[in-house]
Structure 1
Amino acid sequence: MQYIRFTIVSLFFLVTSQLLAQQVEVKGRVADQGDKSPLIGANILLINVADSTLRFGVVADTAGAFTIKSVPTATYRLFISFVGYTAYDQRLNLRRTAPDLGIISLKPDAQLLKDVVVKGVAERVAQKGDTTVYNASAFKTNRDATAQDLIEKMPNITIENGQVKAQGENVQKVTVDGREFFGDDATLALKNLPAEVVDKIQVFDRLSDQSQFTGFDDGQTVKTINVVTRSDRNNGQFGKIYAGYGTDDRYMVGGSTNYFKKDTRISVIGMSNNVNQQNFASEDLLGVLGGSGGGGPGGGNRGGGGNRGGGGNNGGGGNFGGGNSAGNFLSGQQGGINKTNAIGLNYSDNWGKKWKVSGSYFFNDASNNNLSQLARTFFSTEGPGQLYNEDYFSSNNNKNHRLNARLEYTINSKNSLIITPRISFQGNTAYSSLLGANSINALRISQTETEKESKNNGFNFGNSILWRHRFGKIGRTLTVGLTTSANDRSGESLLNSVVNYYTRKTADSLQITDQRTDTKSDGYTISSNISLTENVGRGGQLQLNYTPSFTKNYSDRKTYNYNQSTSEYSTPDLRLSNEFDNTYITNRIGGSYRLRIQKTMVTAEVNYQNAQLSGKQNYPLEFSINRSFNNILPSAMINYRGADGKSFRFNYRTGTNAPSISQLQNVVDNSNPLFLRTGNPDLKQEYNHNTSLRYGVTNPKTARSFFINLNGSFTQNNISTATYIAARDTVVGGFPLNRGSQFTQPVNVNGNWNVRSFITYGLPVTSLKSNLNFNIGTGYTRTIGLINNIQNTSNTHSINGGLVLSSNISEQLDFTVSVNGNYNTVSNSLQPSLDGTYYYQNSNFKLNWLTKAGFFVNTNLNHTFYTGLGQDFNLNFTLWNAAVGYKFLKKQAGELKLSTFDVLGQNNSISRTVTETYIEDLQTRVLQRYYMLTFTYTLRNFR
C-alpha cells in the first residue's frame, strides 16, 4: 500500500514538474508602425491552435509593453488589436525558451490613411483608443523651451494659475516613457524637461495598478501626461545651469541635468533664489499656505467655505485671481515674496529581468513674507450686512524632505508585486500679525490687534503593497492590496491679542489675551482590498471585491494663560483645551460586471458598506460618541472607442467621506478673537454622488480636435457651517461674544450641488502658420449654510471662455497670444441686496525671437482687468516682463541675458471668494520691478 502511495505521489510531482518546465513567458511591445509611439491599451490574445478554449490575454501598458506568463509550450495564433489599426494575426510556435517578440508594429487602418495630409497640414493630434496623442514635431517652439512651453501650444491643454489641465481636467501625474518622474508633481516634471527631447505627448486616464491588471475601473483614475522621448534624444546627457544677480539684491542660481542610457534614467535639479521661483508641490508645505502664523488672512476662519463659490474656470468653483504671473520668469504658487532653496533627484532603472525600480528625493527650504488686505461682507439675518476689513502680515519658513519610490517585482510567471512607499518630514516656524475691524453702516463695532508665533513639526508615511496573481484560465485573476499610512504632528504657539468693542465711536470694553497652546496629533490608517475576476459568457467578466479599512486619529490641544505672579504660561484654560480620539472603521463588499460589445465597454457595480464612527473626549470632560452608517454604493461606466477618432465616456460613482478629527473636536479656536470656531462631535459622514460625461473627436486629416466635458456632484449630509453673528453681547459655548463677533461650527446640511461644463476646439491656421484653440465653460454651484439658525442658500452662475493663438513658424520666431474671461453672477437667499456680478479678464502676449547671429528678444505682456469687486479692488493693470540677450559658444550653448521684471511697475494680485456665509476680496503682496543679468549654459550631449 505504501509502495502504491509512493508511486502515485512520485508520478504526480513528475508530471507537475514536466508541465511547469514546459511553460514559457511571452513578451513584446506594441507600437505605431510610423512613429513607433506605444499603443497604450492594445489587446493581446494567444489562442491555442489545437484547443481554441485555451486562451491567454493581456493589455499593453503605458509603454506599449506586454507580458503573458505561464503559457504551455504549443502552437498558437497571436492576435493584437487596437482601435483605428489593422489587426495583427501571426502563427507562433512556442518552445521551451521564453520568446521576446520585440516591437510589433501595427498599421493604421487604410480608411484613416486616406488623404491624411491635406494642403501640407502635418498630423498634430490623433485619438488612439482612450489616449490622445500629440505629435511634438508639429508644434514649433523656441530652442530653449521646456515641455510645459510645448504643451501650452497643444489643443485642449491649458495652464491655469500654474495648474496643468487637459480636456478640462487637472493633470495629476506626468510620466516619461511610461516611467515615474518626480512622483506626482506634474509641474516639476514638465518645467525640467526640454521640449527638444519630446517626440509625443500622450494624454489619458491612468488606471490604478489593480485596475490595469483586472481591467475594472475602480474609480482611482488620474489624468496623466506621458512624455515619449525622441529616439535620438533618450541616450545621453542634457540639462542647463544658470546664475543671475539683479537690483534690490535679487538673485537666482540653479540648474538641472539628466542622464539617460537605455533603461537607466537619472535626473538632478536644484535652485536657490528670492524671485518667487518655486518648484515644489503644496504637499511639501506644512502650515505655510494660508499664513500659518495666524491662520491666514481672516484669522483662520474661512467660515468653512474654503475656496467654494467664486468664479474660476471650474464653472462656479473656487476663487479667481491674477497678477504675479511672470511667464518665462516662473512665479510661484504662494503670494508674497518667497526665498527658495531646493534640490531634487529622480532615478529609474530595470534591475535584471524581474525588477523595475523608480524613486525620487526632494528637499526644499522655503521662506515667505506676505502683506495682504482683505474686505469681507457677511450675509446677515438682521439689517445690512456686516463688513470685516483686515491688514495682515506673515513671515514663515518651511523645510521639507520628501521621498517616493516604486518597486515592481515579477516573482514568477504568475505572480507579481508592486510596492510604493512614501515618506516626508516637515518643519515650520511662523510669525503673523493682523489688524482687523468689524463695522455696520460704516460704524466700527469691534477691532482686534493680534500677534501669533508658532513652531510645528510633521511626519507622514505611506505605503502600498499590491500582489497580483493570474490563474491558468484566461480572465481569472486575484489581487490583494494592503495600504498603510501614518502621520504625526506637534507644535506650540504664542497668541497675544487686544480687542476693543465699541457702542458708539469710542471703545467701552477691552479684552486682552496672552496664551500659549501646545498641540499634538497623530493617526494611522490600514486598509486592504481583495479582488477576484472571472470571465462570464462571451465578452463578459465578473469581479468580486472586499475592502476593509481602519482609521484611528488622536488630537491633544492644551492652552495655558499667562500667569503674572509666576511670569509663566501656567494657568490652564479649559475652554480652549481638549483631548480627543476617534476611530473610523469601514467594511465594503460588492461586485461588478463588465461587458464588451464591439467598440463599447459597459461596467456596472454595486457595493454595500458598513461604517462605524466612534470618538471619545478625555479632557476636560469625558464623553463618547458612537454611530453606525449603512450605505449602498452603486456605480456605472460606459466607454466607447471608435475607429474614426471619436470617443465617449460616461461615469457615475458614489462614495462616503468621514468628518476629520478637527471637525469633530469640540474645542474653541480663538486665533482671531472676533471669529471663534469649534468642532462638532455630532457630525455624520457625507454621501457623495459624482457623474461625468466626456465626448471627443480628433480628425488627423484636418488636424482638428473637439472635446466636451460635463461634470456634476451632489452631496447628502454635506459638512457645511453654522455661523452665529452676535447682534448684541452674549455668551456662546462659555465664551463672551460681543456684538459683531462670530462663532462658527461645522454642521451637516442637504442641498449642496454643482454642475459644470467645458468645451474646447482646436484647429491649425495655415495662413498664419499657427494653431488656434477655443474653450468655453459654464457652471453653477449651490451651497447651503446656517446664519443665526436661518438657512442661507448661496448660488453662483459662471460662464468663462478663452482662445489661444500660438505660432508654428520656427525655432527662431515663437509667439503666443491668449485671452481668457470669466463672468459670474452671485445671489443668496438671506440678503438679496448683496447679489451682484463680477468679471475677470486676462490677456497675454508672449514673444521669443532669435536672430541667426545669436541675438534674441523675449517679452511677456500680461494685462489683467477686474470689475464688480469691492471698493479699491477693481483694478486694471499690466505686467510686462522683457529681456534681451546673446547666445554664444559652440552650438550657442552659452547665453547672457539682461531682463526686467514688471517694466511698468504695475504688478498686483487680486482674488475673490464666495461662500455660503460671506463674499471676500483679497489683495496680496507681489514682487515689484527689478533688473537682472543672467548667464545660462545648456548641456546637449546625445549619442
Structure 2
Amino acid sequence: MNMKNFTLLLIGAFAYFFGHAQGGLRGRVTDSSSKAPLNGATLELKNSNLTRNTISSKTGEIVLNNIPDGSYKISITFVGFETFEKVVTVAGKTVDIGNIAMKRGERLEEVVVKAVTPPAQQKGDTVQFNASQFKVNPDANVEDLVKKMPGIQVDGGQVKAQGEQVKKVTIDGREFFGDDATAALRNLPAEVVDKIQVFDRLSDQAQLTGVDDGNGYKAINIVTREDRRNGQFGRVYAGYGTDDRYQAGGAVNFFNKNRRISLVGLFNNINQQNFAGSDILGLTGTGSGRGGGGAGRGSTDNFQVNSRPGITTTNALGVNYSDLWGKNFNVTGSYFFNNGVNDNNTISTRQLLYAGDSTNYYREVGENQNKNTSQRVNMRMEYKIDSANTLLILPTFNFQSNDNYSKVTGLMNAQNGSPMSSTDNTTRTTGNGYNFNNTFLFRHSFAKKGRSFTAGLTTGLNNRQSTQNVASISSFYKGTIEYDSVLQQQHAETKNYNLSANLSYTEPIGKKGILQFNYNPSYSSNDADQKTWHFDAGTGKFSQLDSSLSNVFNNEVVTHRGGITYRFGDRDKNFNIGLDGQSTTLDNVQTYPQQGTLKKNFSNLLPNAMLRLKLSDKSNIRIFYRSSTSNPSVNQLQNVINNSNTLFLTTGNPNLDQSVSNRLGGRYTYTNSRKGNSFFINFFATQTDGFITNATYRASQDSVLTPTVTLYKGSQLSKPINLNGYWNTNTLFTYSFPYKALKTNLTFNAGMSYIRTPGMINNLINQSNSYTYSGGIVAASNISEYVDFNLNYSASYNNVTNKIQPTLNNHYFSQVAGLGFTLLTKNGWFLQNDLNNQLYRGLSAAYNQNFWLWNIAAGKKFLKDQKGELRLSVFDLLKQNRAISRTVTADYIEDLQTQVLTQYFMLTFSYKIKNFGKAPERKRAEGMPEPGMPGGYPGGGGGRPEGGGRPWN
C-alpha cells in the first residue's frame, strides 16, 4: 500500500468513527439536612484500569467526561460528612447519578482528634509524598523539595525517580513546560505544593486504549494546595559581582482557576541553565553521531542536551500557558527562547586499546566556544467532541542556529613515551536547523463495554544545514618529520520526512479481559548531501571539489507492524501479553560520487508482557518484558570520510543492519504510611543483537585511502558495524525512614550495574566489561522552615576489563560528600552553606584529585511580609573547583577535565511576588484523592552538575 492510499484510508476511518459515542458522569452533591449544595466535595471514579478525580462546583454539580466504557466504583467525600459509595456502569452515554444527599458524621463531644499525615502513601502504582512532611526554607523551589523525598534525585540537569529519568512533570494533572522536567521543578515555589506523585505514565495512545503499549515513562504530578490555585506568585532578582559576573531573571505565575500562565526569564554568565534541559544543541559539524554504543564523545542525533560543561552565558525566556476553552477543549502550550555562549577549555588523556600488550596514549588540549540560539514550541490540545469521542493534537516545533569554534592540539605517544604524531587543528562550524512534528490521536468508544477504536497519525519534518571550515597541520615522526595539511570547507545538509500511523481496536473478552488488535505502518525518507571543497590559492576561494570527501545519499525505511495483545485485570492484578509481527525494508541509494543501491528486508516477531500485582495495601510489584528494533541513522549509513582530525578519521557504513533489543525490568515498592518507611527495588536489563558499535583500524604503516586522504601510522579509521553481545543491567535499592530523635529523614541507597560493550579493533572483536558498585546516604532535616540541613555521601567503585588486552584492566573510585544548611531567623537574617568534597582515585595521574567546593551566602529579608531580600554570596570560597570524568568504550579509555566556574562574590536583590485569592471555605479530608489527576494514570490500581555545577547564590 503506497502512502497516498494509506493516508486516504486513515482519513476515511476518522470520518466513519467520528460520530460515534463515549461515556461520562454527572450529578449534584448536597447537604441532606439543609439541602444546600456542597462546594468542593471530592469524587473519585476508579476501577483496575483507571482512576479519575474531580470536585463539585459552587452549585454542588459534578461533571466528569471522557470515561472509557466499564464498571467503576465512585466515592464522594467531604469533611464532616459520611463517605458516599456506589458502583456505576458507563456504556457510551453520560450516567446521571442524580442528587447525592450527604449525611453529616457523628459529632464527637469534647474529643479532639489530630490526624497524622504520613510522609508517603502507596496508591496502586503511584507513590504519593505529602509535601507538609518535608520541611524546606520559605524560598525553596519544588526541586529543593523533591530532593528530600526517597528515591528522587536531581543531578546534572536530569531528574530521576526510582532509578528512571523523569520525562514529564504535570501540575494538577496538566502539562507544565512540556517535556522539560527541570524547568517545571525549578520555576515553581515549594510553598504551593500539597503532594508529589511519582508514577509510570502511559503513552498518549495507551491512555486512550487502556492497554499498556510499552512506550510509557516515569512522570511526576504536582498537586497544588487548594489555597494556592488562584493568584499571582513568583520571584524576580538581579545581582552583580566580581569579575563582571551577573545574574537577573525570575519566574512569575498567574493562576486563575483553569487558566494558568507562567513566565520565566534567565540572564547571567554564571552557568545558570535552569531550563536548558530541552533546548537544542547547536550543530557541531558533519559526521557526528556516527559512533555506536557510546563510542565517540558526542552525538547531535537526539537534537537535545542537558546542562553543558564549561562556562555559559545565557539569555533565555519562556512562557507556559494552560487553560480550558469552554467545557471540552483543554489547551496547554509552552514557548522557549534561549541564546547561549559556552566557553569550554578541556584537557584529556586517552588510552587506546590494541591486541596484545601494546597501547598508545593520546593527549589533547582543546579550546572551544559554542554560540547557540534556539526556539521551541510545544502544544497539547485535547478536544472532547462529545461524551465518547476525543481528539488529541500534539504539535512541536524546534528551530536553532549555531556557530561553533574549536582549536585542538593533540599529541600521540607510543607506549614507551616516544612521540608518534601530533596535530594542530582549527575548526569553525556554522549551521541552522528546524524540527517539526505533529501527532493526531482520535478515540471512539462503542456502546458495548470495553469496545473501542483508536487512530493516530504522526508526521515529522527535519532539516539541518551546516558549513564547516577546517585548517589543520599534522606531524608524523618517522626519524624525519612528515607533514600533512588540510585547508577545506564542507557543506552538509540532512533532510528527514516521516509519516506513521497507529490503528487500534479493543474488544472485551469475559468480565475482566480485553483483546487489542493494532496495526502500525510507517515511512521515513532521509537525505544526506555532503560536499567538500579544497582551498585554491590561485583564486583565493574554496573552489576545488573533492569527490572522495563528498557524498549524496538517500535512505528510505518502510515498516509494517501489527499484532494482538490480551489484557486481564482487576483491582489487585493486571496482566498483559502480546505478540507483534514486523516487516521492515531499508532502501539505501547513493547518487554521488558513484551510483549504487542496497536494499535490505527484515522480519521480526516482537513479544511483550507485563504483570502488576498488589501484594498488600503497602506493597506492589511490577514486571515487564519488551522487545524492539532500531534502524541505523543516515549519518551512520553515509559512506564518506570525515577528516576534520587526521589522527582520528571516521566514515559511515551503508551495510549496517537493524538491531534488535530485549528489555526486562521490574520494580518492588513498599510504603508504610504509618511509620513513614519506604523501600524500593528496581531492576532493568537490556540485551541487543546487531548492536551498532565501532570497528576501529589502527594503522601500523601508512595507507592511502583516497587521493587526498592518507591514514598514517599510528592514526585510526573508525566506522560503525553491527555486533552481538551488548548487555546493560542495573539494580537500585532505596530505603528511607524518619529518624524522629533528630527530626531527620534518612535515605540509604545502593546500586549495581554491568555494561558489556562489543567492539572491533584491527579485525579482532573486543568486549569491554564495566562493573559499577555504588552506595550512598542522605540525611535531610525535617525540623522547621528556619533550620534546614542536608548531609549526603555517595561513592562509586568501577571495575573495567577488556577481552583483547587484559593487562589494561583497571578499577577506579570516586566519592562525593556534602553538607548544606540554611539558618533563618524570624526577623529575616539568614545564613546558607553548601560544602562538597570530591575524590577521584585510579584515573590517570593528573586526574586523581581531591578537592572542595565551598559556597556560602548571608543576607537579610525585609519589606512587608519579608518579600525583599538582599544577599551576599561567595562561589568557590577555597578556589578548588574542578570537573573530571571518565569515559570507557570498547576501543579506548579517556579521562577528561573541563573548564569550570571559579571564585566570585556577588550581591543580589530579590523580590517575592505573593498574592493569592481567598482559600475555599472547606477543605477536603486528608488522604482523599486529589482533583486534577489525569486519565491514564495507573495510580488506581546531590551531586554537582557538569562544569562545576549550577552556581549557588
Corresponding position of 1:745: 719
The answer to whether the aligner puts 1:239 opposite 2:234 as a matched pair is yes
Cα 1:269–1:622, aligned 2, differ >3 Å: closer, same or farther? same
Partner SS, residue 377 of structure 2:
strand
Letter in 1 for 2:499: I
Question: Which of the residues 672, 687, 700 maps onto 1:699?
Answer: 672
The answer to whether the aligner puts 1:940 opposite 2:914 as a matched pair is yes
CA offset digits 1:192-238 (Å, max 9, x no partner): 01000000000000101221222210111110000000001111000
Corresponding position of 2:46: 42
Partner SS, residue 358 of structure 2:
coil
C-alpha displacement at 1:92, in angstroms?
10
- Matches of 2:369 and 2:493 in 1, distance apart? 23
C-alpha displacement at 1:643, in angstroms?
4.1
CA offset digits 1:363-392 (Å, max 9, x no partner): 000101110001000111254211110000
C-alpha displacement at 1:104, in angstroms?
12
The answer to whether the aligner puts 1:214 opposite 2:209 as a matched pair is yes
C-alpha displacement at 1:645, in angstroms?
1.5
- Matches of 2:805 and 2:41 in 1, distance apart? 58
C-alpha displacement at 1:641, in angstroms?
2.4
Cα 1:335–1:66, aligned 2, differ >3 Å: closer, same or farther? farther
Corresponding position of 2:822: 848
Corresponding position of 2:543: 570
- Matches of 2:122 and 2:83 in 1, distance apart? 15
- Matches of 1:25 and 1:795 in 2, distance apart? 55
Corresponding position of 1:655: 628
CA offset digits 1:479-530 (Å, max 9, x no partner): 00001111011111110000000024xx521001000001111111100000
CA offset digits 1:247-300 (Å, max 9, x no partner): 000000001100111101000000100000012345423336xxx3799xxxx6
Corresponding position of 2:477: 502
* 1:389-428 equivalence runs, <5 A: 389-428=363-402
Letter in 2 for 1:250: R
- Matches of 1:878 and 1:840 in 2, distance apart? 14
C-alpha displacement at 1:779, in angstroms?
1.1
Corresponding position of 1:546: 519
C-alpha displacement at 1:562, in angstroms?
0.4
Corresponding position of 1:227: 222
Letter in 1 for 2:767: T
**Does the 8 Å CA contact 1:722/1:745 hold for their aligned counterparts?**
yes
Q: Greater CA deviation, 826-835 or 636-645?
A: 636-645
- Matches of 1:245 and 1:103 in 2, distance apart? 60
Corresponding position of 1:306: 294
Corresponding position of 1:26: 25
Letter in 2 for 1:927: L
Partner SS, residue 551 of structure 1:
strand
- Matches of 1:105 and 1:135 in 2, distance apart? 27
- Matches of 2:23 and 2:308 in 1, distance apart? 55
Partner SS, residue 277 of structure 1:
coil
The answer to whether the aligner puts 1:770 opposite 2:744 as a matched pair is yes
Partner SS, residue 143 of structure 2:
helix
**Does the 8 Å CA contact 2:66/2:390 hold for their aligned counterparts?**
no
- Matches of 1:63 and 1:727 in 2, distance apart? 72
**Does the 8 Å CA contact 1:909/1:923 hold for their aligned counterparts?**
yes
C-alpha displacement at 1:101, in angstroms?
7.8
Corresponding position of 2:34: none
Corresponding position of 2:833: 859
**Does the 8 Å CA contact 1:658/1:685 hold for their aligned counterparts?**
yes
The answer to whether the aligner puts 1:80 opposite 2:74 as a matched pair is yes
C-alpha displacement at 1:565, in angstroms?
1.4
C-alpha displacement at 1:60, in angstroms?
2.9
Q: Cα RMSD between the aligned structures? A: 3.1
Partner SS, residue 670 of structure 2:
strand
Partner SS, residue 656 of structure 2:
coil
Instruction: Give the % identical residues.
Output: 45
Letter in 2 for 1:478: F
- Matches of 2:43 and 2:549 in 1, distance apart? 59
- Matches of 2:909 and 2:158 in 1, distance apart? 28
C-alpha displacement at 1:640, in angstroms?
1.2
- Matches of 2:498 and 2:285 in 1, distance apart? 29
CA offset digits 1:33-53 (Å, max 9, x no partner): xxx998998229xxxxxxxxx
- Matches of 1:242 and 1:275 in 2, distance apart? 14
Corresponding position of 1:182: 177
- Matches of 1:887 and 1:100 in 2, distance apart? 53
- Matches of 1:538 and 1:703 in 2, distance apart? 37
Cα 1:66–1:711, aligned 2, differ >3 Å: closer, same or farther? farther
Cα 1:293–1:592, aligned 2, differ >3 Å: closer, same or farther? closer
Letter in 1 for 2:264: I
C-alpha displacement at 1:633, in angstroms?
0.4
Unaligned 5+ runs, structure 1: 1-19, 31-35, 45-57, 108-115, 311-330
Cα 1:564–1:648, aligned 2, differ >3 Å: closer, same or farther? same
- Matches of 1:692 and 1:103 in 2, distance apart? 44
Q: Greater CA deviation, 202-211 or 156-165?
A: 156-165
The answer to whether the aligner puts 1:923 opposite 2:922 as a matched pair is no
Cα 1:66–1:387, aligned 2, differ >3 Å: closer, same or farther? farther
Aligned length: 862
The answer to whether the aligner puts 1:470 opposite 2:438 as a matched pair is no
Cα 1:71–1:825, aligned 2, differ >3 Å: closer, same or farther? closer
- Matches of 2:631 and 2:851 in 1, distance apart? 44
Corresponding position of 1:111: none
Corresponding position of 2:868: 894
C-alpha displacement at 1:756, in angstroms?
1.2
C-alpha displacement at 1:536, in angstroms?
0.5
- Matches of 1:747 and 1:529 in 2, distance apart? 31
CA offset digits 1:713-768 (Å, max 9, x no partner): 00011111100001122234663111110000101101111211000001000000
**Does the 8 Å CA contact 2:618/2:670 hold for their aligned counterparts?**
yes
C-alpha displacement at 1:137, in angstroms?
0.3
CA offset digits 1:37-86 (Å, max 9, x no partner): 98998229xxxxxxxxxxxxx833487998466999xxx9973389xx99
- Matches of 2:102 and 2:159 in 1, distance apart? 32
Corresponding position of 2:424: 449
Partner SS, residue 386 of structure 1:
strand
Cα 1:483–1:455, aligned 2, differ >3 Å: closer, same or farther? same
Corresponding position of 1:171: 166
CA offset digits 1:610-649 (Å, max 9, x no partner): 0000110111011001000000000000011244221110
CA offset digits 1:588-623 (Å, max 9, x no partner): 011000112551111100000000001101110110
- Matches of 2:254 and 2:123 in 1, distance apart? 30
The higher-RCO structure (CA 8 Å, 6+ apart) is 2
C-alpha displacement at 1:413, in angstroms?
2.1
CA offset digits 1:343-380 (Å, max 9, x no partner): 00000010111100110111000101110001000111
Cα 1:69–1:178, aligned 2, differ >3 Å: closer, same or farther? closer
Corresponding position of 2:659: 686
Unaligned 5+ runs, structure 2: 1-18, 30-39, 56-61, 77-81, 105-112, 299-304, 918-953
- Matches of 2:406 and 2:566 in 1, distance apart? 55
- Matches of 2:839 and 2:96 in 1, distance apart? 63
What's the TM-score, normalizing by structure 1?
Answer: 0.87
Letter in 2 for 1:917: D
- Matches of 1:574 and 1:106 in 2, distance apart? 85
Partner SS, residue 132 of structure 2:
helix
Letter in 2 for 1:176: I
Corresponding position of 2:248: 253
